[in-house]
Structure formats: C-alpha cells, structure tokens
Structure 1
Amino acid sequence: MKVILTETIESLGIIGSEVTVADGYARNYLLPQQKAVHDTPANRRKLENEKARFELQIAKEKATAEEMAGRLDGVSCTISAKVSDEDRLYGSITVRDIMDALAKQGVELEKQMILLTEPIKTIGTFKIPVRVYRDVEPEITVEVVPEEKEEK
C-alpha cells in the first residue's frame, strides 16, 4: 500500500515521503496512529501545500539532532565488570549496560540509538556510534575496566 508519511519514521523515511509498506502495517499502525495518510491525489495536493511546513520541521529536527550530537561527541563512560585471569569478561557489556552508565551521567538515550554491533566481551576502550538522526552519528567512548577485587 502506498502512503504519505506525516512524521519522520527512522525505518521508512522522512516526513512527506511517499513510501510503499505492507497493507497490514499501514492499516494497523501507520494510519490509526496518524503517522501516514493514504496516497491519493487529494492527499498529494495537500502535501504540496504543506511542503514548506514539512521542510521547516525537517530543518528543526536536523538542527536539534546536530545540537545533541555536539553534546554527545566526546562523552565517555566507564563500566566495571568481573574478569577472568585472561582479562576476558565473565558476562558481556550490552546496550543496556551502556545506557545505564550514561544515565548515571545524566545522558538519556534510547536503546535503538546506540549502534553496538555485538556485545563487548573484553576489557579496553571502545568507540561506539550513536544514531541521533539520519546521517548524524557522533561517537561515545566506553571504557571497560576490571572490577576491584575485595581483599579478605
């Protein structure tokens, strides 16, 4: 089914885009949530009339994303984890662990924004990209250190 997006959806496109999606996705999610409208001649004319408003909204979203990217660029966090004798982690560091460490610093991110390809399983320093907006991906630094052992 062809629809016109009324808001930016990361996996589909930006506001005002004409996209083809599965019928069920359009009927059950996009249309009831008013995230899209049917691709009809009347809706296309309405889209042309509102194009300036859409472009302004896109510019605002991009400006906000670039401002957030500026704040995120250079942010680092330290996560301590239990390690074996060979400096391998007993578990692994996941997106949730990174989110929690950043939240302690006052940096709130959504899970899908952190682009961790696979869990971290060794100690060291890692650069992790964060998708703030399409084509805006600052990097944060995550340092994994061994957890201090208690002396008895």
Structure 2
Amino acid sequence: MARKNVTASGMPRTSRQVELLLAEDVEFLGKQGEIVKVKPGHARNYLIPQGFATVATAMNKRNVERHREQIEDLRKQRMADMVKRADAISKYSVTLEANANEEGHLYGSIMGPDISKALKAAGYAVETDHIKLDGPLKELGMYTVRVQLHPEVKTEVKVWVVPAAKK
C-alpha cells in the first residue's frame, strides 16, 4: 500500500518552493528585479533555462538592492534637474514674430512646435509635447503657456506674439 504524502525515505512531503530573482518581466509572476517563490520544476525547466530568472542568492539580492538604490538616486537627480529647468523657463519669455492684419489677427497661427523651437534656440530643452496649449494662438498679444516637463514638474512661460517686421 503506497502512502501519498510520504517520500521514499519516510519523510513527510512538503510543498517546496525555491526563491528566484526575475531577470525579466514574467506575465502572471512578477516584474524584473522582484524575488518570487515558484515550484522547483517550473524554475528548473522553464524560468532559469529561458533566462527569465536566476537563483536568489544573498549576493544577487544585494546587487539588485544596490541597483535599485542607484536607479532611485538617478531619478531624484533627474527630478532636481527638471525642477531647476522649470524654474529657469518660468523666468524666460518667448517672443515670436508673425504676420498679422491691422486688427491683430494672425494669417497663420502659433502652435506648440513654434514655442518649443524658440525655447530650444534659447538653450532650454523643451520638446513639443511638453507645451500644453488650449488651442493655437491666433492673435497678437501676450500669452501664458503651460509647460509640463514631467507629470510632477509643471511651469509656465510667457509668449509674446508680435507683428513681423516689415521689409
């Protein structure tokens, strides 16, 4: 008569699991850098041979933690740089020339790419998608335009739309 919950040596069976460190994102299991527990067969037959995971040794865990700290430091440095850039942009004003009629209506319009190009020419790294306009600027005048460098870093820049110099 075979006993189901006992090994050949007479020791009780336990549902063993091994700790693995994920090298890549694995659907339904975890994200890269996480430590997960899986059954030994899944680790031995799939995750390790495919390069999705490695054994979670103490050294590997320390390396991952050190890497996370470095990434967090880089993120903080980037945020500080963006805050400085946002502060500098808020103190700057852009002047754009455009052709307009006597009433001040532009023949064309000023859009995000025009403002971004002017800011880049002034030495500010602002991409077109950072410029948040409610609509195109179609008249001469002064506008306050929102600039969003990051979801947490927002500022404004003054945009002066002036008539083009006549030749």
Query: TM-score by structure 2 length?
Result: 0.59
Distance 2:87 2:131 in 1: 16
Counterpart for residue 135 of structure 1: 152
SS in 2 for 1:131: strand
Q: Which residue of 2 aligns with 1:146?
A: 163
- For this pair of structures, how many residues does the alignment match? 115
Look up the SS of the partner of 1:38 in the other structure. coil
For 2:144, give the aligned amino acid. K
1:48-77 CA distance string (max 9 Å, x none): 845434432321221121121122121111
Q: 1:114 corresponds to which letter in structure 2?
A: I
Evaluate the alpha carbon distance shift between residue 143 and residue 57 of structure 1 in structure 2; reply closer, same or farther with a 3 A threshold: same
1:105 aligned onto 2:95: no
Look up the match of 2:26. Answer: 38
Q: Which runs of 5+ in 2 are unaligned?
A: 1-23, 37-60
Q: Provide, for residues 52-110 of structure 1, a one-character-per-residue CA deviation record: whole Å limited to 9, x for no partner.
A: 34432321221121121122121111111111122110100011211222233222321
Q: Quote the offset at 1:129 in angstroms.
A: 1.4
CA radius of gyration, larger in = 2
Q: Could you say what secondary structure the match of 1:92 adopts?
A: strand
Is 2:81 the counterpart of 1:64? yes
Give 2:117's aligned amino acid.
D
Report the Cα distance in structure 2 between the residues aligned to 1:104 and 1:128, rounded to whole angstroms: 17
In structure 2, the CA distance between the partners of 1:138 and 1:119, relative to structure 1 (3 Å rule), is same
Q: Is 2:101 aligned against 1:84? A: yes
TM-score (norm 1): 0.64
Q: Distance in 2 between matches of 1:37 and 1:140?
A: 40
Structure with higher RCO (Cα < 8 A, 6+ apart)? 1
Q: CA deviation at 1:121?
A: 0.4
Once residues 31 and 88 of structure 2 are traced to their aligned partners in structure 1, the CA distance between those partners, rounded to angstroms, is: 42
2: CA distance, partners of 1:104 / 1:42:
41
Q: Are 1:96 and 2:123 counterparts? A: no
Give 1:41 shift.
4.1
Identity of aligned residues (%): 27
RMSD: 2.5
SS at match of 2:101: coil
What are the ranges of 5 or more consecutive residues in structure 1 without an aligned counterpart?
1-35
